[in-house]
Amino acid sequence: MAERKPIESWLTDMDGVLIHEGTPIPGAADFIKRLRESGKPFLVLTNNSIYTPRDLQARLARMGLDVPVENIWTSALATAKFLDDQRPGGTAYVIGEAGLTTALHDIGYVLTDHEPDYVVLGETRTYSFEAMTKAVRLINAGARFICTNPDETGPSTEGPLPATGAVAALITKATGKQPYFAGKPNPLMMRTGLNAIGAHSETSAMIGDRMDTDVLAGLEAGMQTFLVLTGLTSEQDTEKFPYRPTKTVPSIADLVDLV
């Protein structure tokens, strides 16, 4: 078996790896500090499309995690990059928050409910029946269906919330049309992120807390993968999957010395 090349760039998930319910995970600040001191390219990723990178930078800074805006990569940015490559200067009907609408505005998209090229579904805490009905009718009329990510639930202090994947299933049931998911585990999100920082998959690593999104996306993009046990996946859970991470560690603190 060919020996792995040294890791020259790092991609890491945010929730469950660096933070948990608004609190930094021990070792996260040290890991980010070591990355910044090393000068190695890195990205903090999230499938959540609610926030802009600037929003997330401020949120992380309040927790003591100093991550520059250009080192944050969201499913909203990956979706916008995909649409810009596919149909530059297009139109979209959007269900989502500022993270998604800003990303689409920044690539020159017009947001409209009049014969849009795409219906783009992202994360929001206020999914409305009216908006979903409009999405169904536009897709039935010929709009292409895009989703930022397939996550079916999202975390909250009260418990799981229905997320983009669950609402996408509702729209699919009503239209018979499957969406294209731009976020993890689609390796497209990883490849566009790597391109954004000028990194290569064979010398990159992905850190995540989920086997079905983080590890799978890293694996399919050709990267080394590290699973941390501070999020959704337990060590026992890993045995249920037909693929494995390169290495499983208790937390991000165990990876500081690898940078």
Is 13 considered catalytic here?
A: yes
Find the catalytic residue in 15, 151, 209, 214: 15
Let me know: does 191 contact 221? Beta carbons within 8 Å.
Answer: yes
- Cβ-based neighbour number of residue 158 at 10 Å: 6
What is the DSSP secondary-structure string of 160-196? -EE-HHHHHHHHHHHHS-PPEE-STTSHHHHHHHHHH
Q: Which of 13, 117, 151, 214 is labelled catalytic?
A: 13
Task: With both helix axes pointing from N to C terminus, report the angle between 187-196 and 75-86 in degrees, rounded to the nearest 10.
Answer: 90
The alpha carbon of residue 230 and the mean position of all alpha carbons in its chain are separated, in whole angstroms, by 18
Q: How far is the C-alpha of 42 from the C-alpha of 89, rounded, in Å?
A: 29
Q: Which residues of 45-82 are buried (b: 16+ CB within 10 A; e: fewer)?
A: bbbbbbbbbebbbeebeeeebebeeebbbbbbbbbbbb
87-to-39, 118, 144, 225 alpha-carbon distances in Å: 35, 10, 11, 32
Active site residue 214: no
Q: Which residues are catalytic?
A: 13, 15
